[in-house]
Structure 1
Amino acid sequence: MRALADAGLAPVVIDDLSSGFREFVPAGVPFVLGSILDGELLLKTIEEHNVTGVIHVAGYKYAGVSVQRPLHTYEQNVTGTAVLLAAMAEKGVDRIVFSSSAAVYGTPPTELVTEDTPKSPQSPYGESKLVGEWLLRDQGVAVGLRHTSLRYFNVVGSGTPELYDTSPHNLFPLVFRALGDGKTPKIFGNDYPTPDGTNVRDYVHVADLAISHVAAAKRLDAGLPVETAYNLGSGDGSSVGDIMRAVADATGIDFEPEIAPRRPGDPARIVAAGELAARDLDWEMRHSLHEMVSSAWEATRRAS
């Protein structure tokens, strides 16, 4: 929202607040309380606010929990997207940026993921995001919808100190919570073929993601060509050990993480290439790992 406003665009927010917070919406930004499953509300909002494009970030994002709640996940992520696209088509809104996920790749056959890497999602969440991409593709054929999907792994950090990560499942909040409770964070396996023996993954700062979402929206507005999907990745990643050391440095809490056994099926290294997004969407890793952790820690402390 802040990135859109800073770019001279006029956002309007629809959120059912199932996981969001009303106070996170900046003053002056129109806010509509409701779900994307409510087609009538979407039609009314599009008309009242003269909506010309959509950035679709409304989704149920917990991959692990989606295994226990597959029907809920599909309702929110697939049915919700279909209802949104139907409302857009009825009102003539012909452009959308879709927040997809690197979960569409599942456990890829290579360590470096490109947009052409085979899709093999391994959770209802990943499957629902892939179906969302298919819906956009098919609406593109049917009604000329202009669209692109942005895929990424772990979103971390805080863009401003008053916005903190509220997820009960994300890595940074889990580590901060453990330290706050006097517990020792865990690393699952330290014998992988990586520089420090721990898993390597992509961690990208939320503010960097916001910049590329805005760039994608502006590119669609300008009628410029876009890829159907872009990876927003670092190309090299950070290890879980790196994360723990950065947490200790940012928080000033000296700790040695507990080493637990490997989790079954956990690959040693998965990171995404970001060259296409760098070419088209102003994508770059503007924040160091330390900045990612310290911004998240500052926001968490301010909220507590």
Structure 2
Amino acid sequence: MNNQTFNMDLLQLEGLKVTASSSILAFVLFLLIYVFIMVSNLGLVVLIFMERSLQQPMYLLVCNMSVNDAFGATVVIPRLLSDIFIPAGERFIYYIDCVIQAFCAHFHGATSHTVLMIMAFDRYVAICNPMRYTTIMTGRMVAALSVAAWVVAFVLIAVNVGLSVRLSRCRSVVVHPFCDNASLFKLSCENVLINHIYGLISSMGTMSVSLCSVALTYLRIAIVCLSSKNTSVNSKALQTCATHLLVYVIMLFSGFVIITLHRFPHLSDERKLASILFHVVPPSMNAIIYGLQIKAVRQRVMIIFIRKKIAVSEVK
């Protein structure tokens, strides 16, 4: 069976480890979470593009995060749902599909860092150089920053996954809930030292660069706010920055937990759960955090609910 599987480029995927009695509950839970992620994030994007007052650099940059969150959830959750009622030994995935899923999963993580970095830059310009904000953060600049965030992440992950694809394969079992880069190079019996080195450098490098840039940016913002005597402006600036920092801390903590658990082989089940939560928790919370922070979004949502309530009452 293993030889046939290998020759057909068909891999056995571990998938989500749930008991038969809890499979229905797990399916319903992940389905509801996925629907919520898609509706909240894509709804926020649609609302920003439809509401002229929200078509500002900060909100347009938020769209990058919402699109990336919807993308990251779609990479993992639908596959988990499709395999949840299939016996563990009968979950298969084609190698090319595994490569695509691994690339997209890491691409989502890298893009989360690069997008949050350009959002920090936007807040820096808005607070530390408000008189030149409109001349610096033009539509062209927003587009350039957005493209740069996605392209840099794409190149980093393309090299990472490319180093794994070049390897020959002697195994056909992916011991993970979904395909990632580590799953790909673990299929090989060759020396994968370069994969470990580049993977560690790229992941830790991305996290370090984003952490340093965000920390320095907000340190500068804090200095400006403390030296300013305009309390109302400072309060608004700190509220906006606190929202961004909360999103960043959630994402950074989720990624740090996964990297830390990789160093403890006996905690493999916990690491697998953490890797799933990375594609579930931040995408679930980001849209809520930004949606509640943006006053215009709260007002628009309230208007929609009031209109629906009025329509229902008129029908009755």
More helix by share: 2
More strand by share: 1
- On whether the aligned pair clears a TM of 0.5, the verdict is no
Flag the structure with larger Rg: 2
Q: Compare relative contact order (CA 8 Å, sep 6+) and give the higher one, 1 or 2.
A: 2
TM-score scaled by length of structure 1: 0.28
TM-score scaled by length of structure 2: 0.27
